Amino acid sequence: MRDALLKLVACAHQAAAQCDKRLVDREHSAAMADLRATLDTINQGIVLVDATGTVQLCNARAAEFFRLPDGLIGQSLDLRRLTAELLEADFTVSGSGRTATLYRPGGDVFDLHIEPRADGGTTILVEDVTANFRREESLHLAESEYLSLFENAVCGIYRDKPDGTPLRANRALVAFNGYESEQQYRTAVKQSGGNWYVDPDRTKLFQHLLTTTGEVRDLVSEVYRHRTREKRWITENAWYVRNKAGVPIYIEGTIQDATERVEGLAAVEQQANTDQLTGAASRFHFLNTLNAITRDANGACVLFIVDLDKFKDVNDALGHGAGDAVLSTVAQRLRKLAGPAATVARLGGDEFAIITPGASASMQADMKCADIVRAMREPIEIEGHNAIVGASVGVAIFPAHAATTEELLNNADIALYHVKTNGRNNACIFDHAMKLRLQQHKALEADLRSAIPADALELYYQPIVAAKTGSVLGYEALMRWNHPRRGFLPPDQFIGIAEDAGLMTELGNWAIRRACQQAVALPGHISIAVNVSPSQFRSSGIVEQVKRALGDTGLNASRLVLEVTENVLMTSQSIATRVMDDLTALGVKLALDDFGTGYSSLSYLQRYAFSKVKIDRSFVAGIESKPANTAIIRAIIRLAADLGMDVVAEGIESEHQAALLRAEGCELLQGYLFGRPRPFVDICADLALHNLQTCMPQRPLGTLQDAPEERTVHKTL
């Protein structure tokens, strides 16, 4: 542009020179005027000065720029002074020699060009280059901004050739890969041959996304850091940069380290899916697994719900640490039993579940049940104690028993309930008749609530006899429920229901009171044993209840025996000791019932103030066939004798058993051989045969006339 202008100026200069010669030529001077007018319209300023310093030409733009007065032409111009003034005034200058760039403080920028001519004159050109200058300046700014962003970005940024050859990588990406310089990084990437993703299929996926959609958005992958080969998770975005023809010329992209996020998410997921205490699956994961099966048209599985029978006792007796250890061992055993395809979950508390997937699983359900029950019966050693928790297992099969997760769970629960109400420590597979029985059970529970007010409970009495003479020394009071429609029910048909319904304390207290009432009618040498359930024993008012029953009936406390099982001792030891001490202080005797089942710790005999121990009938039943039983019975009898305790052997049905026990020195015997449990009127009648004076009831008892007929014959009386 400047060269073109200089040419134009040269022409103008020539024309001006000629103009002088042909001053007379009017046409020519008109052309000159046109030329000047034209020069006034252009954006550049032009000043021509001849060798003498006289201004030959000065267009409007130049006059304006140099602030020269009109009519300058023909006057002399001190160019040196002019430029000096100009520069001093308000410009800063860069450049030197003939060309300079002038910056006006307001922001305008001018190029000044001073060109000496061959004729000794000078051509001065001045051009406003502000717009150009601004453009370049903002371009430069943008570029340096981009570079700053690129270099200082916290995420990795790169530009590659479409074949993957790295062109640029910012500091973050270089550092992410363990390098110090971009050069090191590029070399390493080229040498590694693109071996970056941990899962090699990821490369294909990346390329597929890029070629089909032109971009990759928020792709999360695991990669190797180039230098250390350490694994990291990243989130990446990438896109093609295309030329005007649409052909990709670069791949650009960003990479963010997502390791913490991914691992955090994995940890949260793992936490949600796992029961932290036992390592079994969580209830959440269990339900998801079950839902996936029940929603699948071809889904099939067996669901086992495993409920520990005596967990609460262990927890109460040995503390929460021991309880936790039991739960962990149980989970471990179940996992081992269930196999790798199954899901073992802890549903909460002491309830576990196993989902065995597949249609064939139902074929082995019976076997699995037996295995689970057996495994749960194995003792668990904790802090020197051998805890036997046992479990009840309810089973339902999908799709045979249910159409939905909810129904499947309900039905497994029904099967479990069935086991629990039938003595626990067993397994049961759901069948549709069970639902009906459950309804009956619920109805029974409702009936039981009104049993005491309706006076429908009764105590039956079973004799306890002296081994040597066969004479009756006492009776055990055993509860019966005279159900309005179902007749007399034994305790195993309602005690579990009463426990579940929270009615046991009320029932138990009733039994103590009634036994005391009736016992006063019996001869003074006869003791009465009453069973006390663990929940009744744990209830706060037991001592007060016993005291009141004795006080109200006038029974001598020494005639009352309270029978408790080892479960009672599994409550907090300090509570058990306090309650037992308080009861003993009343003068009541305590018997340890069913010894030989449960924990059977001989140390219980030493630690607590029992005056009797009752050897369980399951033990007595094996006495003829199992020599070990005899040895244990012998040990119990010896220890009891040393501790000054009486031993009662329960469940004696044969003379042979009685003879063996007598031979071992057992002094008290109880069992069908000597008499079944019978109504109070019956035993009164029996006693009357021997001593009418002493066995007549001394107080009127409301239920006497309602008692059923004697059903068994008392053998020894």
Residue numbers at the binding site for Mg ion (CB under 5 A): 531, 563, 593-594, 650
Q: Report the residue number, 350 or 499, with the smaller CB distance to ligand C2E.
A: 499
Specify burial of residue 175 (Cβ count, 10 A radius: 0-12, 13-18, 19+). Answer: middle
By a kind-dependent CB cut-off of 5 to 8 A, residue 490 interacts, out of ligand C2E, Mg ion, none, with ligand C2E
Return the structure tokens found at 639.
């220890």
- Name which of 378 and 492 has its Cβ closer to ligand C2E: 492
Count of residues near ligand C2E by CB under 6 A: 23
> How far is 632 from 639, CA to CA, in rounded Å?
11
Q: Which does 528 bind (CB under 5 to 8 A by kind): ligand C2E, Mg ion, none?
A: none
Q: Which tokens is 87 given?
A: 């520069």
Determine which residue in the list 472, 495, 588, 648 makes contact with ligand C2E, applying CB under 6 A. 495
CB of 674 to ligand C2E, least distance (A): 8
Q: Which does 533 bind (CB under 5 to 8 A by kind): ligand C2E, Mg ion, none?
A: ligand C2E
Shortest Cβ distance from residue 370 to ligand C2E (Å)? 24
Query: Residue 554 CB, nearest distance to ligand C2E (Å)?
Result: 21
Give 333 or 617: the residue with its C-beta nearer to Mg ion: 617
Applying the rule CB under 6 A, the residues between 403 and 422 that interact with ligand C2E are: none
Out of 121, 508, 596, 598, the residue judged to bind ligand C2E by CB under 6 A? 508
Q: CA gyration radius for the chain?
A: 53
- Residue 351: partners with Cβ closer than 8 Å, 6 or more residues away: 305, 306, 307, 308
561 binds, among Mg ion, ligand C2E, none (CB under 5 to 8 A by kind): none
CA torsion, ordered 577, 579, 580, 583, to nearest 10 deg: 160
Strand partners, 393: 306, 427
Taking CB under 6 A as the criterion, the residue among 236, 316, 566, 594 binding ligand C2E is 594
Separation in Å, CA 105 to CA 78, 89, 96, 109, 141: 25, 11, 19, 9, 20
* C-alpha span between 541 and 548 (Å, rounded): 11
Pick the piece of the chain touching ligand C2E (CB under 6 A) from 13-21, 273-281, 394-402, 484-492. Answer: 484-492
Q: Which two tokens stand for residue 208?
A: 């597929």
What residues between 438 and 477 interact with ligand C2E by CB under 6 A? Answer: 462
Phi (first) and psi of residue 185, to 5 degrees: -60, -50
How many other CB atoms sit within 10 Å of the CB of residue 394? 27
Instruction: Report the distance separating Cα 581 and Cα 382, nearest Å.
Output: 28
| Side-chain half-sphere exposure of 215, counting CA atoms within 13 A | 6
Q: How far is CA 61 from the centre of its chain?
A: 82
Closest CA to 225 of 156, 149, 162: 156
Say which residue the tokens 């000047």 belong to.
36
Which one of 103, 239, 604, 672 is in contact with ligand C2E (CB under 6 A)? 672
Q: Min. distance of Cβ 616 from Mg ion in angstroms?
A: 6
Q: Which is nearer to ligand C2E, 176 or 494 (CB)?
A: 494
Q: Provide, rounded to whole angstroms, the least separation between the CB of residue 443 and ligand C2E.
A: 22
**Dist. CA 412–CA 405, nearest whole Å:** 11
Please choose, out of 102-110, 489-497, 622-630, 639-647, the segment that lies near ligand C2E by the rule CB under 6 A: 489-497
Q: How far is the CB of 451 from Mg ion (least distance, A)?
A: 20
**Residues 598-617: x/- map of binding to ligand C2E (CB under 6 A)?**
-------------------x
- At its nearest, how many Å lie between ligand C2E and the CB of residue 428? 21
**Given the complex with ligand C2E, which of 447 and 563 has the nearer CB atom?**
563
Distance of alpha carbon 170 from alpha carbon 157, whole angstroms = 6
Instruction: List CB contacts of 14: < 8 A, sequence separation 6 or more.
Output: none
Looking at residues 627 to 666 of the shown chain, list those that interact with ligand C2E (rule: CB under 6 A): 650-653
Q: In this structure, what token pair is assigned to residue 403?
A: 């159409």
Closest Cα partner for 441 from 458, 421, 412? 421
- Closer to ligand C2E at the Cβ: 390 or 677? 677
Q: Which residue has the CB atom at the shortest distance from Mg ion?
A: 563
Nearer to ligand C2E, 496 or 523 (CB): 496
Distances, alpha carbon 638 to alpha carbons 211, 601, 605, 646, in Å: 90, 15, 12, 10
491 binds, among ligand C2E, Mg ion, none (CB under 5 to 8 A by kind): ligand C2E
Query: Which of the choices ligand C2E, Mg ion, none does residue 236 contact, using the CB cut-off of 5 to 8 A by kind?
Result: none
The DSSP 8-state label assigned to residue 706 in this structure reads G
Which residue has 């000496």 as its token pair?
A: 116
Does 511 participate in binding ligand C2E (rule CB under 6 A)? yes
Verify binding: residue 593, ligand C2E, rule CB under 6 A.
yes
User: Which amino acid is it at 223?
Assistant: V
- CA distances to 479, 559, 609 from 587, in Å: 24, 9, 12
Whether residue 527 contacts residue 561, with contact meaning beta carbons closer than 8 Å, is answered with: yes
What is the spatial distance between Cα 695 and Cα 686, in angstroms, rounded to a whole number? 9
Q: Does 518 bind ligand C2E (CB under 6 A)?
A: no
Q: CB of residue 488 vs ligand C2E: minimum separation in angstroms?
A: 11
478 binds ligand C2E (CB under 6 A): yes
Which one of Mg ion, ligand C2E, none interacts with residue 451, CB within 5 to 8 A by kind?
A: none
Binder of residue 677, out of Mg ion, ligand C2E, none (CB less than 5 to 8 A by kind): ligand C2E
In whole angstroms, how close is the CB of 276 to ligand C2E at the nearest point?
38
- Residue ranges with strand state E in 509-576: 527-531, 560-564
Shortest spacing between CB 644 and ligand C2E, in angstroms: 23
Closest distance of CB 567 from ligand C2E, Å: 10
Q: Find the helix packing angle between 573-586 and 542-553, rounded to 10°.
A: 10
Backbone angles phi, psi at 302, to 5 degrees: -115, 130
Give me the count of residues in the chain: 717
What does 672 bind: ligand C2E, Mg ion, none (CB cut-off 5 to 8 Å by kind)?
Answer: ligand C2E
What stretch of H or E contains 511?
A: helix 504-519
Least Å distance, CB 651 to Mg ion, is: 8
Q: Do the strands 92-94 and 99-103 form a parallel or antiparallel pair, or are they unpaired? A: antiparallel
List C-alpha distances in Å: 263 to 270, 277, 284, 671. Answer: 10, 21, 20, 66
- Structure tokens given for 303: 């669901």
3-state secondary structure of 652: coil
Among ligand C2E, Mg ion, none, residue 257 binds (CB under 5-8 Å by kind): none
Minimum distance, C-beta of residue 565 to Mg ion, in the bound complex (Å)? 8
Interacting positions 525-584 with ligand C2E (CB under 6 A): 531-533, 563
Q: Write down the residue that tokens 């004479």 correspond to.
A: 471
Closer residue to ligand C2E, CB minimum distance, 86 or 707? 707
Q: Are strands 156-160 and 92-94 parallel, antiparallel or unpaired?
A: unpaired
Closer residue to ligand C2E (CB): 530 or 640? 530
Min. distance of Cβ 487 from ligand C2E in angstroms?
Answer: 15
Query: Which does residue 527 touch among Mg ion, ligand C2E, none (CB within 5 to 8 A, set by kind)?
Result: none
* Strand-pair partners of 198: none
Which one of Mg ion, ligand C2E, none interacts with residue 495, CB within 5 to 8 A by kind?
ligand C2E
Q: Least distance in Å: CB of 338 to ligand C2E?
A: 34
674-713 binders of ligand C2E (CB under 6 A): 677
Contact 543, 582 (CB under 8 A): yes
Return the number of the residue (122 or 531) whose C-beta is nearest Mg ion: 531
Among 120, 279, 348, 490, binds ligand C2E (CB under 6 A): 490
Binding site for ligand C2E (CB under 6 A): 462, 478-479, 490-492, 495, 508, 511, 531-533, 563, 593-594, 617, 650-653, 671-672, 677
